[in-house]
């Protein structure tokens, strides 16, 4: 049986907001500064944290999720990455046991040792009790150690370290310092490109962390070759086709695995900016992913040339996939401001979360289901009837609309979970 071993660790926490992304980025950068080939992953559906980790490691960051991506997809990515990596670091999602499946479920499935990041700004000896309780809650978990975040002083760090039981390793401390803080907005962290001093923040955090601990590599994990390697069996269903993808400050939520999947099916990929380009590139199909169109309404409303180009592609029956922010930008308005107007209906940004979680949809009955996730504050009001509705573990999920050659939804699809259905999304024949 083919297998390979590589040091690996999953970074988790008691809850969201503890500093997982900063800790993961700092640890990854500290190891990189030693000359190691560090590869990072993000547990769960997420676009923003991977951007920070990509800056820290200098390499693409892929997602691991037992629900959306699937167990074999994660195994294949870990196995392939371990061929060349010196160490693998996975950032968890929310608290260690939050969600179904959780970060703990992922760690236990792939035998990843778990490091806890704990915001210690308001605690002393309870630090050790909290760490011990979390890492001992499931006997199948492999404890790697504990990192303290927002530490007040060297004395505070020593107190936290001494509170740990002997079987838990001290993996260092990050001081409480605004120089490390990562700014946030309603969907999470700012995009990495918006944090102008992100490189300096990560570097400073890595230096501070290295000063507090030897930062030994985690234990080696053995990854067994998956039953199938997706890229080796993916049919060339998009051979000869060019797919143009919107990619700029307003349209930026793109899984690297989705690009890989399209290319593995034979597609040629090109990118364009709906904000700044005056015309679409020549292509067989177009994809407008999610992002922040609501922050760029002036550019969208003033770019009438792009609106005309999108309308021309639609009238020519070119397949268009619009996800989340992409759908909102193709509606008639966002918060009352005019947008591209291909889809009858109006969009609004609400003050409360409107959709969250992993979902699946068959979409086309003969091709099985595709994994997806939703996370948005947007609302789309339309008289259009959905062609189908996704399913979540809580019942009915997001609507999916078909208007001519345009497929629109608040969902973000994970293409590798169903390449054949994905290929159909980028193909259209008028009924």
Tell me the C-alpha distance between 276 and 229, whole Å.
38
Tell me the C-alpha distance between 250 and 299, whole Å.
10
Q: How many CB atoms lie within 10 A of CB 207?
A: 13
Q: Per-residue pLDDT for 411 more than 70?
A: yes
Q: What is the pLDDT of residue 235?
A: 86
How are beta strands 170-175 and 188-189 bridged, if at all? Answer: unpaired
Q: What is the pLDDT of residue 350?
A: 93
- 115-134: average pLDDT: 97
Task: Return the CATH number of 234-425, one of 3.40.50.880, 3.90.1150.10, 1.20.120.1630, 3.30.2350.10.
Answer: 3.40.50.880
Report the percentage of the chain scoring pLDDT > 90.
85
Question: Minimal CA–CA distance to 36: which of 78, 3, 84?
Answer: 84
Tell me the pLDDT tens digit for each residue of 150-195: 999 999 999 999 999 999 999 999 999 888 778 776 556 677 777 7
- 285-308: average pLDDT: 97
Q: Per-residue pLDDT for 400 more than 60?
A: yes
- For residue 385, give every residue at least 6 positions away whose Cβ sits within 8 Å of its Cβ, in sequence order, or none: none
Beta strands in 198-330 (DSSP E): 220-224, 242-246, 251-253, 268-272, 285-288, 290-291, 320-323
Q: Per-residue pLDDT for 297 more than 80?
A: yes
Q: Dihedral of CA 52/70/244/238: which sign? A: positive
Tell me the C-alpha distance between 372 and 365, whole Å.
17
pLDDT confidence band for 233 (50 / 70 / 90): low
Tell me the C-alpha distance between 3 and 191, whole Å.
36
Report the percentage of the chain scoring pLDDT > 70.
96
**3-class secondary-structure state, position 242:** strand
How are beta strands 38-43 and 87-91 bridged, if at all? Answer: parallel
**What residue segments make up the domains of the chain, in order of their start?**
3-224, 234-425
Q: Which two tokens stand for residue 334?
A: 């966002």
3-224 with 234-425: one CATH topology? Answer: yes
Domain 3-224: CATH class, spelled out: alpha beta
**3-class secondary-structure state, position 151:** strand
Q: What is the pLDDT of residue 230?
A: 46
Helix 48-57 to helix 20-32 angle (10° resolution) is 20
Q: Per-residue pLDDT for 430 more than 70?
A: no
Tell me the pLDDT tens digit for each residue of 42-84: 999 999 999 999 999 999 999 999 999 999 999 999 999 999 9
Q: What is the pLDDT of residue 126?
A: 97
Tell me the pLDDT tens digit for each residue of 333-363: 999 999 999 999 999 999 998 888 999 998 8
Q: Per-residue pLDDT for 134 more than 60?
A: yes
How long, in residues, is the chain?
Answer: 431
**3-class secondary-structure state, position 168:** coil
Tell me the C-alpha distance between 157 and 160, whole Å.
5
pLDDT confidence band for 367 (50 / 70 / 90): confident
Tell me the C-alpha distance between 1 and 79, whole Å.
13
Question: Catalytic residues, which ones?
Answer: 324
Q: What is the pLDDT of residue 231?
A: 45
- For residue 403, give every residue at least 6 positions away whose Cβ sits within 8 Å of its Cβ, in sequence order, or none: 342, 343, 344, 384
**Average pLDDT across the chain, whole number:** 93
Tell me the pLDDT tens digit for each residue of 99-115: 999 999 999 999 999 99
């Amino acid at each position: 049986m083919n297998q390979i071993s590589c040091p690996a660790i999953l970074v988790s926490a008691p809850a969201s907001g503890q500093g997982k992304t900063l800790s993961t980025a700092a640890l990854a950068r500290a190891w990189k500064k030693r000359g190691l080939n560090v590869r990072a992953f993000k547990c769960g559906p997420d676009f923003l944290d991977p951007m920070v980790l990509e800056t820290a490691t200098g390499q693409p960051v892929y997602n691991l999720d037992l629900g959306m991506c699937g167990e074999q997809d994660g195994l294949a990515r870990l196995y392939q990455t371990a061929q060349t990596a010196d160490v693998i670091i996975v950032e968890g999602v929310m608290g260690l046991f939050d969600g179904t499946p959780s970060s703990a479920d992922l760690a236990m499935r792939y035998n990843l040792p778990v490091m806890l990041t704990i915001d210690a700004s308001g605690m002393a000896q309870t630090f050790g009790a909290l760490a011990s309780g979390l890492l001992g809650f499931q006997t199948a978990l492999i404890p790697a150690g504990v990192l303290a975040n927002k530490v007040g002083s060297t004395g505070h760090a020593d107190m936290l370290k001494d509170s740990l039981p002997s079987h838990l390793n001290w993996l260092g401390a990050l001081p409480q310092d605004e120089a490390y803080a990562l700014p946030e907005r309603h969907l999470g962290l700012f995009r990495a490109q918006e944090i102008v001093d992100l490189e300096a923040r990560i570097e400073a955090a890595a230096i501070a962390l290295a000063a507090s601990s030897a930062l030994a590599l985690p234990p080696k994990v053995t990854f067994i070759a998956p039953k199938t390697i997706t890229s080796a069996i993916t049919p060339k269903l998009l051979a000869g086709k060019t797919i143009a993808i919107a990619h700029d400050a307003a349209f930026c939520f793109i899984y690297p695995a989705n690009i890989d999947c399209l290319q593995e099916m034979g597609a040629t990929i090109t990118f364009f900016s709906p904000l700044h380009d005056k015309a679409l590139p020549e292509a067989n199909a177009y994809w407008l992913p999610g992002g922040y169109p609501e922050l760029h309404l002036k550019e969208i409303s003033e770019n009438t040339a792009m609106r005309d180009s999108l309308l021309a592609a639609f009238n020519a029956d070119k397949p268009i996939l619009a996800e989340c922010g992409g759908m909102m930008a193709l509606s008639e308005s966002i918060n009352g401001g005019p947008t591209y107007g291909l889809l009858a209906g109006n969009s609004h940004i609400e003050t409360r979360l409107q959709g969250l979680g992993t979902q699946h949809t068959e979409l086309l009955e003969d091709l099985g289901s595709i994994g997806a996730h939703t996370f948005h504050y947007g609302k789309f009001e339309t008289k259009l009837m959905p062609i189908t509705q996704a399913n979540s573990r809580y019942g009915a999920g997001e609507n999916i609309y078909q208007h001519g050659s345009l497929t629109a939804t608040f969902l973000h699809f994970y293409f590798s979970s169903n390449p054949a259905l994905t290929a159909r999304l980028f193909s259209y024949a008028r009924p």
